[in-house]
């Protein structure tokens, strides 16, 4: 997917891209897990994770004064989702967990800047 980030402040571009990828991977994980049993909070955590990542993208795109706080919450939720999905052996869960970890790391950089 090619996203035009030319109008986005440079300091946010990596985080926005990580959040968008996380939304996609969480949505895919959720869809794949709909009719499967789960021993933990996957796929429910994917709903919260995709929602906060979308909010984070929107806040960063408009350079919201609350961007750091939203990124901090996003990192926390992504960490939780990564832990939950990472416990499953399914490829889609592993992709989701890795995407959540990347997003959390990227959000944490903005939250602590």
- The C-alpha atoms of residue 93 and residue 81 are separated, in whole angstroms, by 10
The fold for domain 11-111 equals: Substrate Binding Domain Of Dnak; Chain:A; Domain 2 (1.20.1270)
User: pLDDT band for position 5 (50/70/90)?
Assistant: low
Residue spans per domain, the chain: 11-111
- The C-alpha atoms of residue 10 and residue 37 are separated, in whole angstroms, by 42
CB neighbours of residue 107 within 10 Å:
30
- The C-alpha atoms of residue 39 and residue 16 are separated, in whole angstroms, by 31
Is 100's pLDDT higher than 60?
yes
Q: What is Dmax (Cα atoms) for the chain?
A: 43
Predicted TM-score (pTM) of the model is 0.92
């Amino acid at each position: 997917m090619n996203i035009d980030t030319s109008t986005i402040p440079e300091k946010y571009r990596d985080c926005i891209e990580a959040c968008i990828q996380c939304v996609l991977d969480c949505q895919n994980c959720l869809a794949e897990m709909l009719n499967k049993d789960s021993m933990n909070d996957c796929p429910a955590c994917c709903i919260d994770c995709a929602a906060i990542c979308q909010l984070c993208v929107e806040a960063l795109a408009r350079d919201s004064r609350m961007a750091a706080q939203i990124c901090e919450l996003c990192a926390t939720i992504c960490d939780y989702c990564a832990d939950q999905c990472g416990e499953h052996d399914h490829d889609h869960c592993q992709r989701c967990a890795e995407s959540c970890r990347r997003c959390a790391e990227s959000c944490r950089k903005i939250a602590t800047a």
